[in-house]
Structure 1
Amino acid sequence: MTETARPDEIEVIAPNFKRRLSGVTATIARLVPLQARMIGIRATGPGLPADVPHMPLWQCLSLPRSRDGRPVWRVWHARRNVEMLAGLVLRGLFRRRLRLVFTSASQRHHTGWTRLLLNRMDAVIATSKATESYLSVPATVILHGIDTDRFAPAADRAALRARLGLPAEARIVGCIGRIRAQKGTDVFVDAMIEVARDRPDVIGVVLGRATAKHRDFLAGLKDRVAQAGLSDRILFPEEVPVDRVADWYAALDLFIAPQRWEGFGLTPLEAMACGVPVIATTVGAFPELLAQGTTGTLIAPGDAQQMAEAAAAYLDDPDRLAREGAAGRAHVLNRFRIEDEARAIVGVYRRLLEQA
């Protein structure tokens, strides 16, 4: 086991061919530093944090093809079509000894081009059983995990709330993520208007970013809240840096994931890891992440009335909030630690290398 690997020790290459931050880039940034303690792995490509073990792309062409007279094989782990294609080019045109892996996170039927690429992979990983059902090739299901040290219950929630500018004694319900119709932010707002109207100590928090084309959507939500006379209790804080998001989860009494559509969706895991029960829609991997009735509740997407009723049932039952919050933390520790995800993926790498 090594913290990082010298070029002649590299066994796995994780390409990242997108400069802008995306879910795929964030996944690579979370996993590769952990995997570097288990196997010789380097990421390649732009847009990655400095602490991610990295190599320039050109170096892929100069890595040794043999050692002590024996062929050396490596794994190329793609997460985008262009990265699958690059692996095929490296293996076919440049004669690199590569075993090709692709991780699929989408829940939609693939184009003919994607299916053609998938058929050339040596192994495919699906991030959920729902994702696996859309694949035309065999896949290993490995669910995402999270950093349970970073996402953890607050030692002093009153002090944390004071630091975030939130009332210490309020019952606070949060929705965290990108602000857009696909993410169901409007459904959350409508549900919170209904819940907060009769509960003067309830606060709703919408935390996230609205890109340029969704700013009118955000403005409309704020107008809706203002018309309900709840601008002081349904809040839209400024987006916070990634390393501060965990604090906002830990400050909540209840988390709602209101998505109309989702590929996977980490937010329920992040909330549960912070000891917060979750209401989530039946999209993405959410049904595979929650333990229904134990760590949270699943509802239909797009149904603000059902969401409001589910939220009210939690907020009016403090014992249930505490019970399911504690169960959620235990559930994540038992099944969704990022170390377990990293180890499972490394297991796929090792099987391919042993077959080479």
Structure 2
Amino acid sequence: MTILHVAQPVTAGVARIAADLIRRQRAEGLDVVLACPDAGTLPGEAAAAGARVLRWEASREPGRTLPGEVVRLRAAVRAAAPGLVHLHSSKAGLAGRLALRGRLPTVFEPHAWSFAAVGGATARAALAWERYAARWAHRVLCVSDGERAQGAAAGVRARFAVVPNGVDTDSYGDGDPRMPSRDEARRALGVPPDAALAVCLGRVCEQKGQDLLVRAWPAVVDRLGGSGGALGEPGTGARAGVRRPVLAIVGEGPWAGRVREAAGGRGDVLFPGAVDDPRPWYAAADAVVVPSRWEGMALVPLEAMAAGRPVVVADVAGAVEGLPPEWRDRAAVPPGEPGTLAAALADLLQDPDAAARFGDAGRRRMRERHGLAAMGRGVAAVYREALAEAGRG
């Protein structure tokens, strides 16, 4: 059977999940085709895994280009002749369900609901669409129980399935040569060895909430006894015996300028830009922060815990489900509250023993529940259900 994956966007978390699934499916001997824009990281990774890649030009946002995108996707479906179609994220889900209308076994994976990302009339229109288009998916695949519950509570009546996101836990372990030691990473990144380093990785945008973290940061510095001066500046830094707090916002995106402006030129907030490999930043970090306004199940906290790092996350869909149960009260904070975020982050940064225990528990949980093998098995089971629902099992 041929599986056709359709994806837009082609970078960041959605692309990583799609690429990991494609690699696993190709390793199992399946015929896999990817339709996506000729941009980002996903086409190259899919081709390297042995998948056929069909160019499907589509913008990231819905708009006047949609009719042409639907026509082009129908042509891609004819060229691929798939037995099942897997639509990744809201834009592919929009064009794909319009193109297919349930005529082929279809799995739609929102990767966070479109109506949670907007407000006003746009949100109402997105929700109305999701309620209507659910009939054209043989399974709606959610990456967390929270994402499924959010959709059901909003009135999306779908044939839901839940498969948590997974990460390559081995590639974030000490045995992977790409994973440097803490000291090696800090030397390479220019971070002082005695800094209390908080790291936030991801696309800098409204969803990921880096602006909230920058607003919270002065309170973190105050709690840890730091001064907020530039790194290496004489006469500044933390009081004697107190590790100097440093925040790194790692990534680029449409809100990058806004977040830099909100930081106000603080010398203890670093903006290294986007990176191809996040491992050195995970290795260097004392804690990883994910202050998102909405998610399905973010990959950054899963990767951080696979690397043995504690995390502080906004309690949005899927966030708590990835955490070790004994750390949920301490690590998950209400979204959109900089004060609570600051308190939780400072708590971890000033307690290295607790951070180490959290890191160990997180690493165990990732290996037990969030590996790529578990995700692959779960998706395969969803495919079987979709095929049976369509009468092709």
TM-score normalized by the length of structure 2: 0.74
Point out where structure 2 has 5 or more consecutive residues left out of the alignment: 55-72, 116-123, 227-237, 239-243
Deviates more, 1:140-149 or 1:114-123: 114-123
RMSD, matched Cα: 2.6
Task: Report what 1:144 is aligned to.
Answer: 165
Task: Report what 1:4 is aligned to.
Answer: none
TM-aligned CA deviation for residue 333 of structure 1? 0.7
Structure 2 residue 249 is the aligned partner of structure 1 residue 206: yes
After superposition, the Cα gap between the structure-2 partners of 1:11 and 1:352, relative to the gap in structure 1 and judged at 3 Å, is farther
Query: Does structure 2 retain, via aligned residues, the 8 Å contact 1:14–1:76?
Result: yes
Task: Report what 1:7 is aligned to.
Answer: none
Query: Whole-Å Cα distance in 2 between the matches of residues 183 and 59 of structure 1?
Result: 32
Task: Report what 2:78 is aligned to.
Answer: 61
Query: What is the DSSP-based 3-state SS (H/G/I as helix, E as strand, rest coil) of the residue aligned with 1:61?
Result: helix
After superposition, the Cα gap between the structure-2 partners of 1:323 and 1:101, relative to the gap in structure 1 and judged at 3 Å, is same
Deviates more, 1:154-163 or 1:201-210: 154-163
TM-aligned CA deviation for residue 186 of structure 1? 2.4
After superposition, the Cα gap between the structure-2 partners of 1:61 and 1:139, relative to the gap in structure 1 and judged at 3 Å, is same
Query: Whole-Å Cα distance in 2 between the matches of residues 106 and 59 of structure 1?
Result: 25
1:85 partner letter: L
TM-aligned CA deviation for residue 55 of structure 1? 4.9
Query: Whole-Å Cα distance in 1 between the matches of residues 273 and 80 of structure 2?
Result: 46
1:188 to 213, 221, 233: 213
1:321 partner letter: A
Query: What is the DSSP-based 3-state SS (H/G/I as helix, E as strand, rest coil) of the residue aligned with 1:301?
Result: coil
Query: Whole-Å Cα distance in 2 between the matches of residues 19 and 249 of structure 1?
Result: 24
Deviates more, 1:318-327 or 1:145-154: 145-154
Task: Report what 1:166 is aligned to.
Answer: 191
After superposition, the Cα gap between the structure-2 partners of 1:302 and 1:115, relative to the gap in structure 1 and judged at 3 Å, is closer
Task: Report what 1:88 is aligned to.
Answer: 101
1:220 to 235, 241, 261: 261
1:14 to 5, 14, 31: 5
Point out where structure 1 has 5 or more consecutive residues left out of the alignment: 1-9, 65-72, 92-97
Structure 2 residue 301 is the aligned partner of structure 1 residue 290: no
TM-aligned CA deviation for residue 347 of structure 1? 1.8
After superposition, the Cα gap between the structure-2 partners of 1:268 and 1:328, relative to the gap in structure 1 and judged at 3 Å, is same
TM-aligned CA deviation for residue 62 of structure 1? 6.2
Task: Report what 2:230 is aligned to.
Answer: none
After superposition, the Cα gap between the structure-2 partners of 1:334 and 1:194, relative to the gap in structure 1 and judged at 3 Å, is same
TM-aligned CA deviation for residue 274 of structure 1? 0.9
Query: Does structure 2 retain, via aligned residues, the 8 Å contact 1:32–1:41?
Result: no
Query: Whole-Å Cα distance in 2 between the matches of residues 115 and 175 of structure 1?
Result: 34
TM-aligned CA deviation for residue 327 of structure 1? 0.7
Structure 2 residue 366 is the aligned partner of structure 1 residue 341: no
1:151 partner letter: Y
Query: Whole-Å Cα distance in 2 between the matches of residues 19 and 260 of structure 1?
Result: 19
Task: Report what 1:132 is aligned to.
Answer: 148
Alignment of 1:321-332 (within 5 A): 321-332=355-366
2:84 to 72, 75, 87: 75
After superposition, the Cα gap between the structure-2 partners of 1:85 and 1:193, relative to the gap in structure 1 and judged at 3 Å, is same
Query: What is the DSSP-based 3-state SS (H/G/I as helix, E as strand, rest coil) of the residue aligned with 1:294?
Result: helix
TM-aligned CA deviation for residue 293 of structure 1? 3.7
1:282-304 residue CA offsets vs partner (Å, 9 max, x unmatched): 11310211124437611112222
Query: Whole-Å Cα distance in 1 between the matches of residues 258 and 76 of structure 2?
Result: 45
Query: Does structure 2 retain, via aligned residues, the 8 Å contact 1:11–1:39?
Result: no
Query: What is the DSSP-based 3-state SS (H/G/I as helix, E as strand, rest coil) of the residue aligned with 2:11?
Result: coil
After superposition, the Cα gap between the structure-2 partners of 1:123 and 1:186, relative to the gap in structure 1 and judged at 3 Å, is closer
Query: Does structure 2 retain, via aligned residues, the 8 Å contact 1:105–1:128?
Result: no
1:100 partner letter: T
TM-aligned CA deviation for residue 322 of structure 1? 0.8
Task: Report what 1:69 is aligned to.
Answer: none
Query: Does structure 1 retain, via aligned residues, the 8 Å contact 2:13–2:298?
Result: no
Matched residues, percent identical? 27
Higher relative helix content: 2
Query: Does structure 2 retain, via aligned residues, the 8 Å contact 1:210–1:218?
Result: no
After superposition, the Cα gap between the structure-2 partners of 1:19 and 1:283, relative to the gap in structure 1 and judged at 3 Å, is closer
TM-aligned CA deviation for residue 59 of structure 1? 7.1
Query: Does structure 1 retain, via aligned residues, the 8 Å contact 2:282–2:309?
Result: yes
Query: Whole-Å Cα distance in 2 between the matches of residues 63 and 204 of structure 1?
Result: 46
Query: Does structure 2 retain, via aligned residues, the 8 Å contact 1:292–1:298?
Result: no
Query: Does structure 1 retain, via aligned residues, the 8 Å contact 2:172–2:279?
Result: yes
Query: Does structure 1 retain, via aligned residues, the 8 Å contact 2:214–2:263?
Result: no
Structure 2 residue 270 is the aligned partner of structure 1 residue 235: yes
Query: Does structure 2 retain, via aligned residues, the 8 Å contact 1:12–1:76?
Result: yes
User: How many residues are aligned here?
Assistant: 321
Structure 2 residue 33 is the aligned partner of structure 1 residue 43: yes
TM-aligned CA deviation for residue 20 of structure 1? 5.2
2:309 partner letter: V
Task: Report what 1:175 is aligned to.
Answer: 200
1:101-157 residue CA offsets vs partner (Å, 9 max, x unmatched): 222333447533333332132222112212212131121111111111223355521
